[in-house]
Amino acid sequence: MNQEASPVTDTPSGAPASGSRAMLALKIGTPIVLVIAAGMWFYTRNRVSTDDAQVDGHLVPVSCRVYGTVDKVLVEDNQAVKAGDPLVAMDPRDIQAKLDQAKAALAQAKAQVEGARADLERARVAFQQAKGSDLETAKANLDSKRASLEKAKTDVQRMKPLAEREEISAQQFDGIRTQAEVADGDWRAAQQKLSSLQREADIRKVAVGASEARLASALAQVDQARASQEGLELQLGYTQILAPVDGVVTRKFVEAGQTIQPGQGLLTLIPLHQTWVTANFKETQLARMKPGQEAEIKVDMNGVVLKGHVDSIAGSTGSRMSLLPPENAVGNFVKVVQRIPVKIHIDETEAHKVILRPGMNVEATVIVK
């Protein structure tokens, strides 16, 4: 008995099952995709992002303020320093010698001041004496001599008629006239004495003025010598070059034994605790952006996301502030979307998570609610 195997075909019975699974997947997947799409739209509708963003920071150049020779360089490249730490020590001997000379000049100027003060005091005493009792005595003597002269003249006038009538002898009249002449001489001598004392008082007064001028000049020399000393003390302090801020030493140009000039750059300090992000957003992304809005910074180095906020928006596009700004008046204008720098500060609570160095690449996102 021969039994033939009937062929088994899955096509007719399998097609409805496969179609059912596809329909089921479509019915289930479509809502999921729509939910995901809606969630993505809801999440991104208030977020503006750019990958054209870098970390910026202060670059603090350290330079020399006096001429001299470098004695020691106390730091190395990439060394972290604190504000006030010594960076470079210069040879102070030349400035120290000048400072010693300035101190000696100041001491000499002070001695001249003391001498000028003594001269002024003597001149004042002499002036007070010249215009004091001697001058008053001379004035009183002149008044007395004037009174005596007037009396003698009166006697002459009164006795003249008597002498003409010979009521008195000629000898008596001659004696009266002689007394008048003597009184006149005494009066003239008293006048000359008073004039002499007045001239002497005037001379003493001028001497007082000259002494005051010498004292003022000596005081000015003291001020000049003191200013010179203080300036040299400052220069001596400048031979120790200290770190102005906390930071990391970068681009060190100075070496021991090098002769440097005032203003010559020695190294650069970068304070890593004072960094920020400069994000170049397209102009079409700034419609709702304003200072104070929240921001997120994704660091390319390790993917850490930091919280921050918009500090300010630049007043011009980056291309306009470039060394060679574009000139669109030549007729070959092609409209290009411009980018405007936006300054973003990292929140203080986030800054400790990662050390940001100027020039690092980041991605910036601003939440423009």
pTM above 0.95, yes or no: no
**Contacts of 365 by beta carbon, 8 Å cutoff, 6+ apart:** 47, 48, 49, 295, 296, 297, 298
81 versus 330: the higher-pLDDT residue is: 81
**Residue ranges matching CATH 1.10.287.620 in the chain:** 94-237
In the CATH scheme, what is the code of domain 60-91+240-270?
2.40.50.100
Q: What is the DSSP letter of 6?
A: P
**pLDDT bracket for residue 22 (50, 70, 90):** confident
C-beta of residue 363 within 8 angstroms of C-beta of residue 300: yes
Comparing CA positions, the residue from 242, 253, 259 lying closest to residue 88 is 242
pLDDT of 134 over the 80 cut: no
Mean pLDDT check: name the lowest of 158-162, 248-252, 301-305, 348-352. Answer: 158-162
**Residue ranges matching CATH 2.40.30.170 in the chain:** 49-58+272-367
Q: Cα separation of 88 and 107, whole Å?
A: 33
- CATH 3.20.10.10 assigned to domain 94-237? The reply is no
354 versus 336: the higher-pLDDT residue is: 354
- Torsion on CA atoms 317, 321, 325, 326, rounded to nearest 10: 0
75: helix, strand or coil: coil
Amino acid present at 261? Q
Q: Under the phi-then-psi rule, with left for phi > 0, alpha for psi from -120 to 50, and beta for the rest, what region is 151?
A: alpha
In the CATH scheme, what is the code of domain 49-58+272-367?
2.40.30.170
**Residue ranges matching CATH 2.40.50.100 in the chain:** 60-91+240-270
Q: Which long-range contacts (CB under 8 A, 24 or more apart) does 101-105 make?
A: 102/225, 102/228, 102/229, 102/232, 103/229, 105/225, 105/228, 105/229
At 83 the pLDDT is: 94
18: helix, strand or coil: helix
110: helix, strand or coil: helix
Q: What percent of the chain has pLDDT over 90?
A: 50
Amino acid present at 82? K
At 325 the pLDDT is: 73
259: helix, strand or coil: strand
pLDDT of 334 over the 60 cut: yes
**Cα end-to-end span (Å), the chain:** 86
Tens-place pLDDT, residues 68-118: 999 999 999 999 999 999 999 999 999 999 999 999 999 999 999 999 999
Tens-place pLDDT, residues 260-283: 999 999 999 999 988 999 999 999
**pLDDT bracket for residue 4 (50, 70, 90):** very low
C-beta of residue 77 within 8 angstroms of C-beta of residue 250: yes
